[in-house]
A and B are shown apart, each in its own frame.
Chain A
Amino acid sequence: MNAPAASALPARREGLWSKALHKFSRDRAGLISLVIVLLYTIVALGVWAGLWATEWADVTGTKWMPVSSEYWFGTNLIGQDIFQRTLYSTRTAFEVGLVVAVLATAVGALLGAVAGFFSGSWIDEIALWLMGVLDSIPFYLFVAAIAFALQDNPYAMHVAMISTFWTTVARLVRGEVIKLKSLEYVEAAHAIGVPEITIIFRHILPNTFHILLVQGTITFVAAIKSEVILSFLGLGVKDGMSWGLMIAESTLEVMAGFFNNFLAASVFLFVLVMAFNMFSDALQDALDPKKV
């Protein structure tokens, strides 16, 4: 039963991925950004494994100590080590970014594929309506609303981001699925009576993987940036440390001329987001079938 599908599919995908790998390996900006992202990942994993930044919450020094060999980035208002807090926040950012990116992409892929596969039917109508509704609720209000509803659950922020970010993925996947649906091998599978579920999961979704990968990186960036702002506003991370909380702390310090806290958080955030954006661009270029 797989004959038409099996013959038409793997060749096309293999070509796309090996070509993409070849192109990516020649993209200098893409490679540099990948290295930077990997460095951050190591930092985050080290924090998670308890290798470093274990004293981020302890008051080890005194107020506003300057940069030194002991306190690489100095200390904050109450004498905590800014370097350790910055590293610890990397873990927070990765945790939020990964959870949100993976789940939002998965939900978006699933609902988008179903909507696209049944395009024109009431299932599609409902999916589109839901996307329109979620896109029309102001983001900060939505986060707050979910935080209310979940009674200050620490994952309220994650849930809110996933509920809003999946719609973009879903729209893209829906469009791609509508295109794929009319391809020969899918129609052939349909004609010989392969169940719809199988068609969606085995024949259609794997072919949208390149979109999901790129959207995943974009969602990761969006989640990290939103986390910082939400935490700053007091709507995000409550216990733990985050660059947003560091910036919130630093607003008092900045007015007094002490910039270490602000700079540490800003620069770490900027470099990570910039590297991820560049990585995402390189990935998109490499996976673009229109470019030779």
Chain B
Amino acid sequence: METLQYILRKLLTGIPLLLGVTFISFLLMVYFGPDKTYELLGKSATPEQIEEVRHQLGYDRPFIARYGQYLKELATMDFGHSDSTGEPVSGLLSRTIPISLALITPGFVLGNLIAVLLALVAAYHRSSWVDRFIMGFSVVGMSISFLIAIIGFQILLSSSYGLNMFPVRGWNMSTVGNYLSYVTVPTLATVFVSLGYNTRFYRAVIVEEMTRDHVRTARAFGIPPARIFYKNILKNSMIPIITRVIFSIPLVVISGSLLIESYFGIPGVGKVTFDAITTGDQPVLKAVVGLTAVLFVLAQLLTDILYRAVDPRVTLK
């Protein structure tokens, strides 16, 4: 009961964020956004026709009413139909989001997991050559553009100039084998690029925890290294690590998959978003922006709940 109340209260505090995100995107994309009238009617429309279409599109309604309409759509999760394909937006999203998740998840998980491991090794051998090697590697990773990594891996693994082992582009999840063959190259590119930033961040976190006073206390009382590592270092590092992982989820799902999906021609939500951007498909864009903001509010809630599991200093207030 107490927890439920807490969750509700947290969700309420997410409302200003939702309002802010939707307001700014609405202002930019819809209110100041492209005018579809002439696209639908052609140049030689009569004033009556123009009036008629503008009325249908809702352009003649006051700002507040149009924004209110958007909020209502967000609340009911009903964003109408895509301008370009006529498909219901909710159907479009529920068809494409699973594809994006299947595409992104392996790279995201591996990119964080391997980074934590590398960071632990580097932090443990702090300022030795192992550390310097790992950190040098991560600066190189940070300096390679995602785009170049994608193309590079494609040339190396999917073209006749390289190993030619994987499909060049496209998507197929009908069997596990197919899934693996299509997901490998995007995953490698994602891991390669995210490893640099993640390793650096996690190493900094772990080194900070390693130099805390309570680690020295534990050592002064003869606690063995393995236990110190688990109880003093890892458990305390979890707070910043969890935060980073969870808060990168909403953006990774949309922005991370946008480049990969449009490059490899994978029909996920990133590709849908990219197409909507280039064609000015407002119903889709409104849905994507609104849902990302909702994801952020949920991420915030999730981190709060996890903090409580990890850190006794955090209580439900």
Segment of B50-58, B222-230, B270-278 engaged in the interface with chain A: B270-278
* Residue pair A266, B148 in contact (C-beta under 8 Å): yes
Segment of B20-28, B69-77, B99-107 engaged in the interface with chain A: B20-28
Q: Count residues of chain A with CB under 8 A from any CB of chain B.
A: 41
A107 sits at the interface (CB 8 A): no
B232 sits at the interface (CB 8 A): no
**Given A149-B33, A234-B278, A269–B250 Cβ distance below 8 Å?**
no
CB nearest neighbor in A for B142:
A277
Q: Which residues of A contact B25 (CB under 8 A)?
A: 137, 141-142, 145
Within residues 1 to 34 of chain B, which ones have a CB less than 8 A from any CB in chain A?
16-17, 20-21, 24-25, 27-29, 32-34
In the assembled complex, the Cα of A113 lies from the Cα of B148 at a distance in Å of 37
Within residues 206 to 235 of chain A, which ones have a CB less than 8 A from any CB in chain B?
225, 228-229, 232-235
Within residues 248 to 263 of chain A, which ones have a CB less than 8 A from any CB in chain B?
250-251, 254-255, 257, 259, 262
**Given A233-B262, A255-B159, A274-B140, A133–B17 Cβ distance below 8 Å?**
yes
* Residue pair A132, B17 in contact (C-beta under 8 Å): yes
Q: Which residues of B contact A136 (CB under 8 A)?
A: 17, 20-21, 250, 292-293, 296
Within residues 286 to 317 of chain B, which ones have a CB less than 8 A from any CB in chain A?
288-289, 292-293, 296
In the assembled complex, the Cα of A172 lies from the Cα of B148 at a distance in Å of 31
Point out which of A148, A251, A277 has the most chain B C-beta atoms below 10 A from its C-beta: A148
* Residue pair A138, B292 in contact (C-beta under 8 Å): yes
**Given A133-B24, A138-B251, A273-B143, A144–B277 Cβ distance below 8 Å?**
yes
Please count the residue pairs between chain A and chain B whose beta carbons lie under 8 angstroms apart in the complex.
121
* Residue pair A228, B145 in contact (C-beta under 8 Å): yes
Q: Count residues of chain B with CB under 8 A from any CB of chain A.
A: 45
Can you identify 27 A-B contacts, CB atoms within 8 angstroms? Answer: A129-B20, A132-B17, A132-B20, A136-B296, A138-B273, A138-B288, A140-B255, A140-B277, A141-B285, A144-B29, A144-B285, A145-B29, A145-B285, A148-B29, A229-B145, A229-B147, A233-B259, A247-B147, A251-B151, A254-B155, A254-B159, A255-B168, A257-B161, A266-B148, A269-B145, A274-B143, A278-B139
Q: Which residues of B contact A139 (CB under 8 A)?
A: 251, 255
List residues of chain A with CB under 8 Å of any chain B CB.
129-130, 132-134, 136-142, 144-146, 148-149, 225, 228-229, 232-235, 244, 247, 250-251, 254-255, 257, 259, 262, 266, 269-270, 273-274, 277-278, 281
Determine which of A140, A148, A232, A277 lies in contact with B147 in the assembled complex, contact meaning CB atoms within 8 Å. Answer: A232
In the assembled complex, the Cα of A144 lies from the Cα of B147 at a distance in Å of 19
Q: Which residues of A contact B161 (CB under 8 A)?
A: 257
* Residue pair B151, A133 in contact (C-beta under 8 Å): no
Q: A266-B148, A273-B143 are in contact. List 10 more A-B contacts (CB 8 A).
A: A136-B20, A136-B293, A138-B289, A139-B255, A148-B29, A148-B34, A148-B280, A225-B146, A233-B274, A255-B159
* Residue pair B142, A149 in contact (C-beta under 8 Å): no
Q: Which residues of B contact A235 (CB under 8 A)?
A: 277
Within residues 129 to 154 of chain B, which ones have a CB less than 8 A from any CB in chain A?
139-140, 142-148, 151-152
Q: Which residues of A contact B89 (CB under 8 A)?
A: none
Q: Which residues of A contact B206 (CB under 8 A)?
A: none
CB nearest neighbor in A for B297:
A136
Interface bits B178-204 vs A (CB < 8 Å: 1, else 0):
000000000000000000000000000
Q: Which residues of B contact A141 (CB under 8 A)?
A: 25, 29, 254, 273, 277, 285, 288-289
In the assembled complex, the Cα of A259 lies from the Cα of B143 at a distance in Å of 20
CB nearest neighbor in A for B258:
A140
Q: Which residues of B contact A254 (CB under 8 A)?
A: 151, 155, 159
Q: Which residues of B contact A277 (CB under 8 A)?
A: 139, 142-143
Determine which of A138, A257, A273 lies in contact with B255 in the assembled complex, contact meaning CB atoms within 8 Å. Answer: A138
* Residue pair A148, B151 in contact (C-beta under 8 Å): no
Q: Which residues of A contact B251 (CB under 8 A)?
A: 138-139
* Residue pair B145, A225 in contact (C-beta under 8 Å): yes
* Complex A-B, nearest 8 residue pairs according to Cβ-Cβ distance, in ascending order: A133-B20, A274-B143, A145-B28, A149-B32, A144-B277, A136-B296, A273-B143, A138-B254
In the assembled complex, how far is the CB of residue B184 from the closest CB belonging to chain A, in whole angstroms? Answer: 19
In the assembled complex, the Cα of A132 lies from the Cα of B17 at a distance in Å of 7
In the assembled complex, how far is the CB of residue A29 from the closest CB belonging to chain B, in whole angstroms? Answer: 9
Interface bits B237-281 vs A (CB < 8 Å: 1, else 0):
000000000000011001100110010000000000110011010
Q: Which residues of B contact A269 (CB under 8 A)?
A: 145, 148
* Residue pair A247, B148 in contact (C-beta under 8 Å): yes
Q: Which residues of A contact B254 (CB under 8 A)?
A: 138, 140-141
* Residue pair B145, A133 in contact (C-beta under 8 Å): no
Q: Which residues of B contact A229 (CB under 8 A)?
A: 145-147, 259
Q: Which residues of B contact A133 (CB under 8 A)?
A: 17, 20-21, 24
* Residue pair B292, A244 in contact (C-beta under 8 Å): no
In the assembled complex, how far is the CB of residue B241 from the closest CB belonging to chain A, in whole angstroms? Answer: 19
**Given A140-B255, A257-B161, A281-B139, A149–B20 Cβ distance below 8 Å?**
no
In the assembled complex, how far is the CB of residue B59 from the closest CB belonging to chain A, in whole angstroms? Answer: 15
In the assembled complex, the Cα of A129 lies from the Cα of B142 at a distance in Å of 29
* Residue pair B28, A149 in contact (C-beta under 8 Å): yes
In the assembled complex, the Cα of A257 lies from the Cα of B255 at a distance in Å of 30
In the assembled complex, the Cα of A274 lies from the Cα of B20 at a distance in Å of 36
